Structure 1
Amino acid sequence: FHMIKGSLGSGILAMPVAFKNGGLWTSLVGAIVVGIIYVHCVHILVYSSQVLCTRLKRPQLDFAEIAEGAFRTGPSKWRRYTAFAKEFVDEALTLTYYLCCIVYVVFTASSLKQVADINFGINLDIRLYILIVTVFVLPIGLIRNLKYLVPFSFIAIVALTFGCGYVLYEVFDALPPVSSRPAFNGFDSLPLFFSTIVYSMDGIGTVLPIENAMKKPQSFLGCPGVLNISMFWLLALYCAMGFFGYLRYGDYTAGSITLNVSSSVMGQVVKLAVSLNVLCSYGLFLYVPVEILWRKLEPNVPKSRKTIYYYSLRLILILASVVFAAIVPDLEPFVGLVGALCSSTLVLFFPPIIELVTFWEDKDYMKRWRVIKNLLILLFWLLILITGARTSLARIIELYT
């Protein structure tokens, strides 16, 4: 349950637009393939973590510590990269979670704009709504203690569950025939499909804390195992939302499927409910970059000014996320950019690298096929990184030309 709850996020609402970029059947097959690769990468990351905990005699390790431990105990020629590996993972986590905060601001503003346009007959620039959203994200983003974010997390889960339920109700209410949608939408938009899929499915940051908190962590992996069971249901839900969402709305599918929901009273309630989910999640996502950055800054801050500097850091990050959201207020290409640059790196780059370094000298484990398999995953990551970022940036540039 905790695995599903931790991995199920608002990224599921971007699945239909991912299917729009790939085509109905191409996207379904592609989503399943990406899902299998994702689960495998989580497997090798968790297994590497368990082995490194034994080597280092540590009860548990976070993501950055796993990378550090892999290089520290790996081949001697790679040990000089130990500090860099830890720093690289920290920076990737910071960038990923912070860009998600920006996506959340854009998403909330887009939903508010739709509701206001319907009810008041006005058509104001989305940047005005981004300014309004600032009023709400400021108090949430300034909360320092995680225990005070627990109620917001609960509200977010309830709101997202309600929103997804109603979206699926509307989707199944008037489905056109499957033949009405193209099976493949061309190679030009395919990179955006893969980067959006990776963004939508990325929950790798929640996996290690859940595994570390288990009384029997050995039951996390294996067959069927906690990971396999939970990811099977998550993948089925994500594919269903993407497949039927795109089938229902076709070329009109928006960056978040809630923006396609009808203008009925219930439809507007759903948009506001999902916006509430995103707002409540903002504080949790901001927590990661704040803590990583503060860990680096704190040693250089006078003790008497630590509180002021800490909240100044939070305030700067909140206001900067609003400014970046106003610069790129289009949800679809921005989600693709986050997926291509950040989510793909966390999911497809770090796990195979960590496995290679951790087990390089273990000839019984590191067979030739494992090396080839990891190199293929890294090649897939590089393909998504280059083509996905290029396509997303091109679409963002189109907004200003």
Structure 2
Amino acid sequence: MSETLALTGIGPPDKELKEHKLKTYKVTVTSDDDTHQTSNGVPPYDPHAHRILEHPTNNSETLIHLLKGSLGTGILAMPNAFYNSGLLVGTVGTILIGILCTYCLHVLIRSQYILCKRLREPILSYPDSMKYALQNGPSFLRFGVPLSALIVDGFLITYQLGICCVYIMFIGSSIKQVLDMYIEPMDERYYMIMLLLPLIAINLIRNLKLLAPFSQLANIITFVGLGIVLWYVFTDLPPISSRPLVGEPRKYTLFVGTTLFALEAVGVVLALENNMKTPASFGGTTGVLNVGMTAITLMYVAVGFFGYVKYGQEAKGSITLNLPELDLLAQAVKLIFAVAIFITYALQAYVAVDIIWNTYMKKRIQNWDKATMEYGLRVSVVLVTFVLAVSIPRLELFISLFGALCLSVLGIAFPALIEICVLWPEDDFGPFRYVLWKDILLIIIGVLALVLGTYISVQDIVRSFN
């Protein structure tokens, strides 16, 4: 899976060195001219030319990774998202959210490039980008510098753990639907409990290379499973006129949260760009990001649209749960998706563990065995996601919750804030400072999606127990 790329690139540069460079080098940067000299006469620095990668990917490989990383629980949840929006609102809304997410990724990557030039570093992590942007941004925002990296990491960790919760619910629900046909039906929580030890075992693997073969297997069976799902969807498809074009307005925030969860992949996209042989080809009108996100958005619209036409208000948190329960092929699809998601759980948990361990724990542990503490952290991550999933097994609501809670900020508000801070020293906001006003609007959109989406998702989770 492409998620692993986030862990295989160049690590963040030494912190003290970066802080020194930020104070020393000041570069005037525009999108069209990289010929400006620094204030101390040092020649212009191109971060792309200084990246040293052991196994860089070309444009085609990067595009494949981007497409491959989109075929998971997100795309399977799109019919339920369209149920919350209606066919017309869902189609237009998904396209608009796709455009918004893609644009904000361009903003973030472009801002990181400018920061890397100022620091004369090949790569910056997302948390470091926020920190060093705020240091040179508006003075009234600099109070947030000490906590900025922690806040970004907090949202990243919360999102990764949220994905793990969704995965546990998905696997438990899928296994339940199959086994209920052959044994006495049980609550899906019991199947989640049976998963606990296997999840702990796979999460104790510290070497990603050991997971690589399993990841490739997950990719293959995911493609096969999605093809079979689409065959069921287009078999005896009801007329489009049988579904409403506009859904209930109150549920639009659930649609936005689910679609953000499905479409927004800021961590994966940054990792892919960082691992490219020709990173300059990632952006641009016909670059890898635009081509990939266009294809992904259209796939999500198609699955959401026709999946909702097929199953209507019965559309569940994953379209696989709508497949015929007695059909052996449908049962096989549910099981192979369960296996694929089980393997991917280890990769998603690995990202959260990597952030917590390497950034906050490893250097602070003096009197304890570090290997033992890391294993304890890995077990704790599984237990936290397991307890949350078992306590509140509401798959579709959790997908919407974590999309609204984390990705509205990570994918929309933070990139806009970083761009404001990066352009602030040179006041390079264009005619009438339109870039500044555009970024302020994006921040407002991100915050509104965060507040309203989280509120309604939590409210619906509480109501589901009444």
Same fold (TM over 0.5): yes
The 2-side partners of 1:369 and 1:141 are apart by 47
Q: Deviations over 1:310-353 (max 9, x none)?
A: 10111111112111111011111111111111122211111111
User: 2:123 maps to what in 1?
Assistant: 60
Partner of 2:462: 397
- For 2:128 and 2:440, the matched residues in 1 are separated by 23
Asked if structure 1 preserves the Cα contact closer than 8 Å seen for 2:200 and 2:378, the reply is: no
For residues 198-277 of structure 1, the aligned pairs below 5 Å read 198-263=260-325, 264-277=327-340
SS at structure 1 position matched to 2:182: helix
Deviation at 1:285, TM superposition (A): 0.6
Q: Deviations over 1:86-122 (max 9, x none)?
A: 11111110110011101100110000000011233x2
Which residue identity lines up with residue 387 of structure 1 in the other structure? L
Query: Which one of the candidate residues 86, 90, 114 is aligned to 1:27?
Result: 90
Q: Which residue in the other structure is 2:360 paired with?
A: 296
Give the distance between the partners of 1:129 and 1:161, measured in 2 at CA. 25
Structure 2 match to 1:381 = 446
Tell me the equivalent position of 1:133: 195
Instruction: Give the Cα separation in 2 of the matches to 1:365 and 1:157.
Output: 43
1:97 to 160, 177, 189: 160
Asked if structure 2 preserves the Cα contact closer than 8 Å seen for 1:56 and 1:69, the reply is no
* Unmatched tracts of structure 1, length 5 or more: none
Bigger RCO (CA 8 Å, 6+ sep) = 1
Residues 1:333 and 2:400 are matched in the alignment: no
* 8 A contact 1:7–1:202 mirrored in 2: no
Query: What CA distance in whole angstroms lies between the structure 2 residues aligned with 1:8 and 1:303?
Result: 44
Q: Which of 154, 177, 180 is residue 242 of structure 2 equivalent to?
A: 180
Which stretch of structure 1 is more off in the superposition, 367-376 or 157-166? 367-376
Q: Which residue of 1 aligns with 2:104?
A: 41
SS of the residue corresponding to residue 188 of structure 1 reads helix
Counterpart in 2 of 1:316?
A: 380
Give, in angstroms, the shift of residue 362 of structure 1.
Answer: 2.8
Q: AA paired with 2:381?
A: L
Corresponding residue of 2:113: 50
1:354 aligns with 2:418: yes
SS in 2 for 1:271: helix
* Alignment RMSD (CA, Å): 1.5
Q: Which has the larger radius of gyration?
A: 2
Task: Report 1:114-129 matches (<5 A).
Answer: 114-120=177-183, 122-129=184-191
Aligned to 1:164: 226
What is the letter of the counterpart of residue 177 of structure 1? P
The alpha carbon displacement at 1:154 in A equals: 1.1
Q: Which runs of 4+ in 1 moved over 4 A?
A: none
Q: Please state how far the C-alpha of 1:79 moved relative to its aligned partner.
A: 3.9
Count of aligned positions: 400
| Stretches of structure 2 lacking an aligned partner (at least 5 in a row) | 1-63
Percent identity reads: 39
Q: CA deviation at 1:73?
A: 3.6
Give the secondary-structure state (helix, strand or coil) at the position aligned to 1:214.
Answer: coil
Is contact 2:131-2:145 (8 Å) kept? yes
Query: After the TM superposition, which of the residue ranges 289-298 and 36-45 deviates more from structure 2?
Result: 289-298
Change (3 A) 1:77 1:388: closer
Return the alpha-carbon distance in structure 1 between the equivalents of residues 118 and 437 of structure 2: 26
Give the C-alpha shift of residue 303 in structure 1.
5.7
Question: Does the 8 A contact of 1:141 with 1:318 survive in 2?
Answer: yes
Q: CA deviation at 1:383?
A: 2.2
Q: Describe the superposition over 1:59-89 as per-residue Cα deviations: whole angstroms up to 9, x where unpaired.
A: 1112112112212343455444323221111
**CA spacing shift, 1:62–1:366, aligned 2, 3 Å:** farther
Whose helix fraction is larger, Structure 1's or Structure 2's? 1
SS in 1 for 2:67: helix
Aligned position for 1:149: 211
Instruction: Provide the C-alpha distance between the structure 1 equivalents of 2:152 and 2:93, rounded to a whole number of angstroms.
Output: 27
Contact 1:41–1:352 (Cα < 8 Å) also in 2: yes
Partner of 2:47: none
